[in-house]
Chain A
Amino acid sequence: MANSKISLTTCPYCGVGCGVQAIQEKDGSTSVKGDKGHPANFGRLCSKGSALADTLGLEGRLLYPHVNGERTSWDTALDAVTKGLTKVIEQHGADAVAFYVSGQLLTEDYYVANKLMKGFIGSANIDTNSRLCMSSAVAGYKRAFGSDSVPGNYKDLELADLIVIEGSNTAWCHPIVYQRIVKAKQDRPNLKIVVIDPRKTPTCDIADLHLPIKPGSDATLFNGLLSYISQQQHVDWAFVNQHTEGFAEALISAEKSAKNVTQVAQRCELTEQDVSRFFQLFVNTEKVVTLYSQGVNQSSSGTDKSNSIINCHLATGRIGKPAMGPFSITGQPNAMGGREVGALSNQLAAHMELDNPIHHDLVSRFWQTDNLASVAGTQAVDMFEEIANGNIKAIWVIATNPVVTLPNADKVLKTIEMCDLVIVSECEYNTGTVARANILLPALAWGEKCGTVTNSERRISHQRQFLPSPGEAKKDWWILAQVAQRMGFGDAFNYQTTAEIFREHAALSGFENEGQRDFDISGLASMTDDEYAELLPIQWPVTDQKPNGTQRLFEDKQFFTASGKAKIIAITPRAPVNKTSKEYPIILNTGRVRDQWHTMTRTARSARLNAHISEPIMQIHPTDAKKYDLNHGALAQLDSQWGDMLTRVVVTEEQRIGSVFVPMHWNFFMSSKGRVNALVNPVVDPISGQPESKHTPIKVVSYQPAWYGFMFSRTPLTPVDSPYWVKIKGEQFWRYEIAGEKAIDDFPSWAKKQLGEKGEWLEFSDLSAKRFRAGKIIDNRLESIVFISADYGLPTRSWLSQLFSEQTISDEMRMSLLAGKPGAGLPDTGSVVCACFGVGENTIKEAISGGSAKTVDDIGTLLKAGTNCGSCIPELKKIISA
């Protein structure tokens, strides 16, 4: 269209980092489609990406600064932040403040936050929510390669002959990477896919082999693979001898814990046949990529698990070449950017180390600071422990929602309420964390801000601004720089443009690097503002020697360890920390669903995204469902030692016996008791600090309320006073799934209280069966509905949902409304001729034209028409003679 404006940007959701075209029409509306020119997705978008335009509304946005609940000017708010932080630092030292930041931030925002905290406040107490997501992968890479380097790229997946998908429901969590694999397999059916996952996820659709592994036993499996590689003579001795160290020790550990197929099968609860098929496939296929994600990372031994995978690639020399390598795929759009700027509390900056004196000196000089932190700060989970212990007095949370996402989330909630000073930079109002803040700073959202992000394959892309700034929201880096200036660090934070920050970041990466550090984008450090604005997607390193970026690392077989050799790490598999017990016999596994993102603050705005899985669910195997007396569609209460929740029960064979799956997404605003992280054990990997979010012992009991129900309303309702409620935005309606423990005495007046009195009311009641339904129509449009039942077997919500898109409700819809479904559509019998027996004109005509009725008496015998009061006989005669 001639008048529309197209901006090239990137998707703000997962780590695939797809290119997006934002198309703005003259009427102000925005639509999105995939950017055909972006090498991550070549024009494709997943369901979430496709619905981005649905999430752009300003309803529920945080648009103005607030201090202690009062709206203030930016000056007041920034002064309050500065004063608050300064006071805490003066009284308790720099380590009494902390920043908890996010993989949602752009690299430039991230850079400024890290620089302020580590470089000038002088503490390393900055950690990111990426800690929950890929810190084990980072630690694994660093142990093996001496650097946090993702060796390969997406193209390798398409070139491979075997893809081992380990601990990842790629189909739902990285849909476009998955689609690329699907396409590759279609094009080359010889491409084999092995999925290792306790659950039979949708990713298994394309699997040649699925290993439903015992939760937590991944390292045993890969140790077994290492043993097998050695026993079957598949070790690449030339590579191992020249470019690695530690193989012998690693093999001893491997054979000790997983010496053969039989032992592996037993310890991982797999069949020998499956294990041996996987091992054979691996050793016999040169071009193999192992793609791994949270199933590996979110574990108390996540770092070991990732090294057990990397070990197998190093032992076979399958790294640094096309179509092979260990590939950790990240969860967030800019988890990689966060790693690059060093926003984890144990990193310094630009892939440099806090405890490395050379790095410390280098960064001090580059930033011109004498206050650079030199010891690691606290990590996400510990950070809140430190608040609880009183050691951290002030926290600044930026673009993340810890009261929903951190393990033991109820304690996090209490902890944050105890903290003296809570500053939150956010674009959303309804996050849960916002509600606990002293100072609220409104930040720009996707489409309003610009900067760079790095995806899972090290590709830096420009996320561009195409919408105006709403309200008084500001760029995150601006907010941070303003505070830095007020704290007296003006010279170091006198940024005018985003490009300026990027150039500084790029310059630091190349500063005295000379090939010693993997992360080097010095080739981008001298970009002009215009060049920055036009920056095309590019994979780091980008240097003078490699001005077009780098597709693949380690092609020269040189690693960033002191010796230049990769390390094969000896792994002794460890079981998850908390074991199941008599009291808590089930393993809770958590993760994402296809159509929601994180704590739903954005995706829940989109009706179509809410249609897929609308409620916090618990997937459970039929055997367990029977054991714990749970029915599909009913509710269950889940308890762990740390917290509890309520979920809808989904019985499925895809779940492993003994383990249940619950999505991570539901927050306070979307559900009464749907925060799964309230239950998750606050156990972390000792090396990476990543929580064990995939393994918490719980108990599951059937939750039996007095009644179940649902409500629909065109306008949002005030939260229902019921122990179970879930709020779901639909197309022109809000839906509420509800359940109550207290019997409702007077249904009609209860319904009016919930939905408001005004309107034409329809009511259905069968009180003996504890069934009540009501609907409200205003100006022939459906306004709201409530259905209440003694059991969970309520009608499906689909037809009722559709009715809200109808401009007017027809009589037929109106009469079927409280049935919750349309009638079967009996044949049109025509206008009623015989009222006594309800015989229609069409029925009579049919009988006549079919030859079975010739007289009034015939019609009477056949259809009964005219045989009671007889008042229709004249009409019958007329029809016959016609």
Chain B
Amino acid sequence: MKQKLVLIGNGMAGMRTVDELLKLSPDKFEITVFGAEPHGNYNRIMLSPVLAGDKQLSEIIINDLQWYEDNKITLYTGKTITKIDRVNQQVISDDGITSDYDRLIIATGSLPVLLDIPGKQLEGVISFRDINDVNVMIKTAKTHKNAIVIGGGLLGLEAANGLMIQGMNVSVVHRSNTLMSQQLDQEAADLMREELEQKGMHFLLNHHTEALLGDDRVEKIRFKDGTEVAADLVVMAIGVRPNITLAKASGIQCDRGILVDDTLQTYTPTIYAVGECVQHRNKTFGLVAPLFEQARVCANHLVDMGFASYVSAVTSTKLKVTGINLFSAGDYVGVDGTESIIFKDVSRHIYKKLVIKNNTIVGILLYGETTDGLWYFSLLTEGQNISDIRENILFGQQHVEEQG
């Protein structure tokens, strides 16, 4: 008889684990998947292009319902698991479905962080996390004019850009002066702001939101300095936190996220966790590359091969939805003791920076021109000594290779 595997979370990390499992041992498990969203598995990264109108929803579906059927996977969509019974190795959904498991994967992802301020419950106040949020935004754009995006990070700017393309007048509220501070230094952030301003985006930097005002629907946003701006739609994109409500309630060891070891196993041996809900060696995750690696390692252990080990690596960020090419990785700001090589072509909105320590690249920030990002990234991860190619490295691989 096959072992039973249950996956909570029909998202990218969980389903990638299932993919890897099927590749390794297609017949080992009888698989059941619970998804809170009413769709098949889709590529969440592609929500921004959908909002921007570059892609249709159908194009971002990774596995349609037929695929689940073909692979003999039981899929429950629109079902939220409310309890994990670790003793009886069962999960129970909000509408009473019970499913037994021999192995359980928790891939509940993350939840958007919402500002706890007056008016947060008003109609037209949303986050940017799933297909439903995108649908609300597209719909609102047809009937309303003024959008406010709170949060000038990667997600916030993508939302703002999409809303602008959908025809709204968009202002981004950010509490510091540096946009996308997880990816940019001040110089690049200024370039980006200029470029987005030229496209028509507005910025309210160093603004702290105090309240959202309106009767049923949001009408205005008020800042701590007392100023107010009209708002028909407010998108909060100030960050995410691991979704650990279920795991915590079920007695699984959690800190900021669900604690996992190098095999992605939780403190309960039959239960694994992958993706944005986990905390591994004190790190939580938000980008896609490490999630895929977790899926590979987790699958390796689920099929009892047992040799893979997850090591979290430096990750790089690429951004392209806003029409701006950006590549950033490592210590892109440059802490004390590092050296920076910088190229600027301000009128073309190009800024390239490599942060060097002990003759190796420890940080990369490419803005506007990212051709060599992956090459730099490989030099960074390999810890290559770059002293011989230092003079020309910033001009790209083709300038270095010429030297032979």
Contact = CB atoms under 8 A, between A and B. Distances in A.
Given A762-B345, A835-B320, A870-B62, A825 B369 contact: no
B342 interface: yes
B347 A760 contact: yes
Contacts of B311: none
A868 B318 CA distance: 12
Interface in B303-359: 318, 320, 339-348, 356
Contacts of B59: 874
B395 A871 contact: no
B402 interface: yes
Given A823-B398, A825-B398, A762 B292 contact: no
Contact of A871 (B46, B339, B341, B369): B46
Contacts of A814: 345, 348
Interface string A459-486: 0000000000000000000000000000
A868 B289 contact: yes
Residue of A824, A825, A826 ringed by the most chain B CB atoms within 10 A:
A824
Contacts of B229: none
A768 interface: yes
Contacts of B395: 815-816, 818-819, 823
B113 interface: no
Contacts of A580: none
Interface residues of A, number: 30
Interface string A760-779: 11111111110100000000
Given A823-B399, A871-B43, A763 B62 contact: no
Nearest to B356: A768
B380 to A, nearest CB: 15
Contacts of A869: 43, 45-46, 288
Contacts of B390: 766, 769
B348 A826 contact: no
Interface string A731-770: 0000000000000000000000000000011111111110
Contact of A764 (B49, B343, B348, B356): B343
A819 B399 contact: yes
Interface string A529-567: 000000000000000000000000000000000000000
Contacts of B402: 821, 823-824
Given A819-B395, A871-B43, A764 B342 contact: yes
A823 B396 contact: yes
A837 interface: yes
Contacts of B342: 763-766
Contacts of B344: 761-764
Contacts of B90: none
A870 B15 CA distance: 13
Nearest to B16: A870
A771 B391 contact: yes
B288 to A, nearest CB: 6
Nearest to A794: B391
Given A824-B402, A825-B398, A819 B392 contact: yes
Most buried by A among B62, B340, B374, B395: B395
A836 B345 contact: no
Interface in A814-855: 814-816, 818-819, 821, 823-826, 835-838
A253 B288 CA distance: 97
B374 A763 contact: no
Interface in B31-80: 43, 45-46, 49, 59-60, 62
Contacts of A823: 395-396, 398-399, 402
B93 interface: no
Which of the listed residues B45, B292, B392 has the most CB atoms from chain A within 10 Å of its own CB? B392
Label chain A's interface by main secondary structure: mixed
A502 B139 CA distance: 100
A815 B369 contact: yes
A816 B369 CA distance: 12
Contact of A768 (B60, B339, B401): B339
A821 B43 CA distance: 42
B373 interface: yes
Contacts of B373: 838
A773 to B, nearest CB: 9
Given A766-B341, A769-B390, A835 B369 contact: no
A871 B45 contact: yes
Interface string A787-819: 000000000000000000000000000111011
Contacts of B320: 835
Contacts of B140: none
A731 B60 CA distance: 56
A868 B288 CA distance: 8
B397 interface: yes
Nearest to A760: B347
A816 B343 contact: no
Most buried by B among A814, A823, A826, A874: A823
Nearest to B319: A835
Contacts of A816: 395, 399
Contacts of B356: 768
Contacts of B62: 870
B245 interface: no
A763 B399 CA distance: 17
A815 B345 CA distance: 9
Contacts of B318: 835-836
A763 B343 contact: yes
A874 B348 CA distance: 32
B204 interface: no
B388 to A, nearest CB: 12
B371 interface: yes
Interface in B257-288: 288
Interface string B149-166: 000000000000000000
Nearest to A836: B318
A38 B320 CA distance: 71
Residue of B45, B339, B341, B373 with highest tally of chain A CB at under 10 A: B341
Nearest to B401: A824
Given A763-B342, A819-B399, A870 B43 contact: yes
Contacts of B396: 815, 823
A869 B401 CA distance: 29
B398 A826 contact: yes
A500 B62 CA distance: 101
A765 B289 contact: no
Nearest to A764: B343
Interface in A373-414: none
A762 B343 CA distance: 7
Interface string A858-882: 0000000000111100100000000
B394 interface: yes
A717 to B, nearest CB: 22
A871 B402 CA distance: 33
B371 A838 contact: yes
A870 B41 CA distance: 13
B341 A824 contact: no
A444 to B, nearest CB: 48
Nearest to B316: A836
A823 B396 CA distance: 8
Nearest to B339: A768
Nearest to B343: A764
A377 B68 CA distance: 113
Given A824-B399, A826-B397, A868-B292, A765 B43 contact: no
A870 B402 CA distance: 33
A789 to B, nearest CB: 9
18 contacts: A762-B344, A763-B345, A764-B342, A764-B394, A765-B340, A766-B391, A768-B339, A769-B390, A816-B399, A818-B395, A823-B399, A823-B402, A826-B401, A868-B288, A869-B43, A869-B45, A870-B43, A871-B45
Query: When A and B form their complex, which 3 residue pairs have the shortest distance between CB atoms, in order from nearest?
Result: A823-B398, A768-B339, A819-B395
Given A764-B344, A816-B399, A871-B46, 14 more contacts: A760-B345, A760-B347, A761-B346, A761-B347, A771-B391, A815-B345, A815-B395, A823-B396, A823-B402, A824-B398, A836-B318, A869-B46, A871-B49, A874-B59
